[in-house]
Structure 1
């Protein structure tokens, strides 16, 4: 399968670069959606649906048999690109800094190959929007959850997805059962205060900055004093905004941050404890603080049996030495919603470029990936689908 994938490397690379130059944020991927649909129609696909506003679901059916879903995310990030690549983003302030352009290109490459392959059953191609955030979704759902709620997994027996990792070496893929990526919440804390003259009459006010500062300090005990040292969790306050003048007590402070955990029970324990600390700290100062989770995804969990099958397929593409298992990563991923519905495997693909200097991570304005890895990702999609369908 490697040979077939590398035979269309030029196609995969061209698709990726075209998408990279025209990145779109979540639920705004109209041009990307149009490109995907056009490419699938050119391949001869007839079963194509628009889902989740800007997503695409396409199907290949051959006789009776099981159904496997292959998923790629298609959205970009609100980041100004600084790579200097000749095919850099043409959209100010928007960049494919997570490599979703490569995921889309790899899956289109897989569709191109599978269109000519023999199998019994169905391959369903999920081009999912808005993985990075829920943006203006009326229900506050990311693209993965919205696709699940729109029943794109109806009749699906298993699912598989790939994410590129620029720090992992070329020719390697990580496939591991159990938790792969963390539950991840983005939260907002809105601390209410009361304005007063900061010099003449501070006693008449409620200083939102003092309250907020104590909340930040108190939150540092959530993981260190409430979570077993053998377990893992993260609570980080990352922005802090409040006050309007040097002589006025701040009447409001708005903070944002993130919560992470690799276990659902621990995740819920952290969230519960964070809420309690925020509310009780505010109550000490006769005021209130409002805690809101703006966006969240559960733990991305790889099903044991599906992971074993994917690992066997990966060994055909990468060789036994190329298939590794790295520890869980504290990034979040909304493929988790799909993995909750059907047995799934989320694979991490090495796309490291060997060079002098720093290798930039995901979500960095200078993140670049090794395009030589993309045919390997395409081959893994194809091999996994064929092995799953033919063995079942």
Structure 2
């Protein structure tokens, strides 16, 4: 474990040219809670704090790193935590970082950000465009890290008011790599009673949040199929066994699993997003590869889809005289469970966000077929996940995540930082544990 000595407040703020107003006249007590949340947001919106978060986000954006390769991102995070005299563990889950702010005693509450980028070439032309060919922060994880560091700064400034310990979870490999599982295995949730997460959303207006109790985001699995036939001349198909035709019928048949086998009230999706086969217009190839994903809101539905996907692919290939192998990436990309928000945290989420933003800015959201490995944390402890709005008419439409044209509205960063801090601090105040947990042991190294 990295141990950092606490510095006086004036030294912590010395990174800024202009002093930042702090809540020296307030404490995180049950009186005036609404006003305190608004002051935390005001702190995050201070130009120096805002510019600092923007700078962090842009550094990470220009240097995107894939899952379990976030070495420079992790180093940047640790440097910032060192600057703030925040104690942390590293490495956790290969490149992950887990920080601690507060009393170092129960109760413990966690707030989380993911760090990894996507395999995608950025098409947005700006000064901080990705410098790493074929890699891009197209899902906002760069913003998530900046916001969690912003929350760390807020909480550190008010550490004396915390009624327990806030755990900062900087997680690798959310994009299909099950980084959350490795973080849990590495002890990131040790003694933690609840966890909160945010994700920037292009379809939710700025200064609003949206979520729902119960199932919120779908569980997801991935598959790759190789369909093998016999190559030949395109003019003589009867001398060949065409895997392209077989694969085409496989894709059509896979859609029937949702339209004709799934309960219409049980939301499911199967999408084939990759089809590779052939090198010439007049040659039937020997084999074709298809890759896809399947989504559902229950583990039972996911397992049923997995079973039927394999049956359909191998069966349809056989009908067309081909052979097929199917890989579900159980080790590299294990089945991700649905993201299910704990019902007992619903009011906490609503009250914190409502006191800060106004209750009219806290919206209910329909179930969403996107997947989040935050779900692994929710399988272990109560958790609540929400969307943070960044849509602004003045900016025009923002592309969806996983688009090479994806953009971040950086005006959302202070809202995310302040909400993270408030979710955690108020939880510690309102959800004191009746039976103290064992104190966390200190180690020089994880």
**TM-score, normalization by structure 1:** 0.92
The aligned residue for residue 296 of structure 2 is 261
1:125 corresponds to: 168
CA distance in 2, matches of 1:225, 1:302: 29
**1:342 equivalenced with 2:392 (yes/no):** no
Task: Give the equivalent residue in structure 2 for 1:329.
Answer: 368
**Rounded Cα–Cα distance in structure 1 between residues aligned with 2:403 and 2:211:** 24
Query: In the alignment, which residue of structure 2 is the partner of 1:303?
Result: 342
After superposing the two structures, state which structure 1 stretch, 63-72 or 340-349, moved more: 63-72
Q: 2:354 aligned with 1:319, yes or no?
A: no
Q: Deviations over 1:185-219 (max 9, x none)?
A: 2211111223455555x556433223222212211
User: Aligned-pair distance for 1:87?
Assistant: 2.6
Q: Does 1:186 align with 2:240?
A: no
Could you give the per-residue CA deviations for residues 349-373 of structure 1, whole angstroms, max 9, x where no partner exists?
0011323654211122222222121
The answer to whether residue 207 in structure 2 is matched with residue 146 in structure 1 is: no
Which deviates more from structure 2 when the two are superposed, residues 104-113 or residues 56-65? 56-65
- The total of aligned residue pairs comes to 384
Give the aligned partner of residue 53 of structure 2: 12
Determine the C-alpha separation between the residues in 1 that align with 2:142 and 2:264. Answer: 38
Aligned Cα root-mean-square deviation (Å): 2.0
Q: Given the superposition, is the C-alpha separation of residues 100 and 246 from structure 1 closer, same or farther in structure 2, using an over 3 Å criterion?
A: closer
Contact between 2:93 and 2:185, CA under 8 Å: does it hold in 1? Answer: no
Distance 1:311 1:292 in 2: 42
2-structure distance, mates of 1:179, 1:291: 29
Structure-1 separation of matches of 2:52 and 2:422 = 19
Of 421, 424, 427, the match for 1:382: 421
Contact preservation (8 Å) 2:106, 2:191? no
> Aligned pair in 2 of structure 1 residues 89, 199: CA closer, same or farther (>3 Å)?
closer
Decide whether the 8 Å contact of 1:97 with 1:362 is kept in 2: yes
SS at match of 2:204: coil
CA contact (8 A) 2:251 2:272 kept: yes
Compared CA separation, residues 363 and 248, structure 1 to 2 (3 A): closer
Name the structure 2 match of 1:37: 78
CA separation of 1:180/1:250 partners in 2, compared to 1, >3 Å: closer, same or farther?
A: same
- Asked if residue 95 in structure 1 is aligned to residue 136 in structure 2, the reply is yes
Q: Assess if the C-alpha contact under 8 Å between 1:63 and 1:120 holds in 2.
A: no
Structure 1 stretch 60-69 or stretch 149-158: which is displaced more?
60-69
| Match of residue 230 from structure 1 | 265
CA distance in 1, matches of 2:217, 2:249: 31
CA deviation after TM superposition for structure 1 residue 339, in Å = 1.3
Equivalent residue runs for 1:156-195 within 5 Å: 156-195=192-231
Label 1:302 to 1:249 Cα distance change in 2 as closer, same or farther (>3 A): same
Report the TM-score, using the length of structure 2 for normalisation.
0.81
User: Does the CA-based 8 Å contact 2:350-2:359 persist in structure 1?
Assistant: no
Superposition deviation, residue 152 in structure 1: 1.5
Mark the runs of 5 or more structure 2 residues left unpaired by the alignment.
Answer: 1-39, 433-446
Q: Is the 8 A contact 2:228 2:288 kept in 1?
A: yes
> Residue 221 of structure 1: CA displacement?
0.8
Structure 1: any 5+ residue segments left out of the alignment?
135-141
For the 8 Å contact 1:196–1:204, the answer to whether it is kept is yes
* Greater shift in the superposed pair: 86-95 or 32-41: 86-95
Task: Give 2:20's aligned residue.
Answer: none
Indicate conservation of the 8 Å contact 1:25/1:76, yes or no.
Answer: yes
SS at match of 1:355: helix
Secondary structure of 1:115's counterpart equals helix
1:78 is displaced (CA, Å) by: 2.3
Question: SS in structure 2 opposite 1:256?
Answer: strand
